[in-house]
Amino acid sequence: MLRGAKVGLRARHEDDIPILRAELYNDVVYASRTDTAPWRPIAPGKDARLMADDEEQTRVQFSVVEAEGGTLVGSTALWGIDTHNRTAHIGMGLLPASRGKGYGTDAVAVLCHYAFVVRGLHRLQIETLSDNVSMLRAAERNGFLREGVLRSSAWVMGEFLDEVVLGLLAQDWKPDTTP
């Protein structure tokens, strides 16, 4: 397990999936705000987004758990991993009861450690809706810089919303904020 001050990132367990499904994916509004594809009902056991594939080379999924006690608080991933250019994207979803406790900021810090130290990546990128203040703060507290706004680029529940692109280079990362 990768450890931070408040959270740990560990492999996805089978019993995590029903919780993540019920509290994140089955919340149509939340799921619509966090995915680039439209929400649709998917039968249990068929949702590849929740099930970790240990053979997949372009995506690494983690369950986010409390550092003390190990209670599941969310899900995070490095996705779009490009081993040639040494880049990846960060995605994260916290369970509703776990939001606003600093878990997101710590999870981003642990992911940066994993990406830059363990994987040897050069650049991380986050794309998030412009009104996702929590993710913007978590990213910026970890050294990510706003690189641009993609105007009206995300279709979410009947309207187009702006997305903010944030980036962090390994050379600009401050490892003293990670485990």
What is the pLDDT, as a whole number, of residue 7?
97
pLDDT tens for residues 109-132? 999 999 999 999 999 999 999 999
pTM greater than the 0.85 cutoff: yes
What is the pLDDT, as a whole number, of residue 97?
95
Distance, in Å, from the CA atom of 117 to the CA atom of 122, rounded to the nearest integer, reads: 10
Say if residues 98 and 166 touch (Cβ distance below 8 Å): no
What is the pLDDT, as a whole number, of residue 74?
97
Residue 46 identity: K
Mind listing the domains of the chain with CATH numbers?
2-125 (3.40.630.30)
Residue 75 identity: S
What is the pLDDT, as a whole number, of residue 173?
96
Distance, in Å, from the CA atom of 22 to the CA atom of 13, rounded to the nearest integer, reads: 15
DSSP per residue, 117-142: IIS--SEEEEEEETT-HHHHHHHHHT
Under-70 pLDDT residues of the chain: 46-54, 176-179
What is the pLDDT, as a whole number, of residue 26?
85
Say if residues 51 and 17 touch (Cβ distance below 8 Å): yes
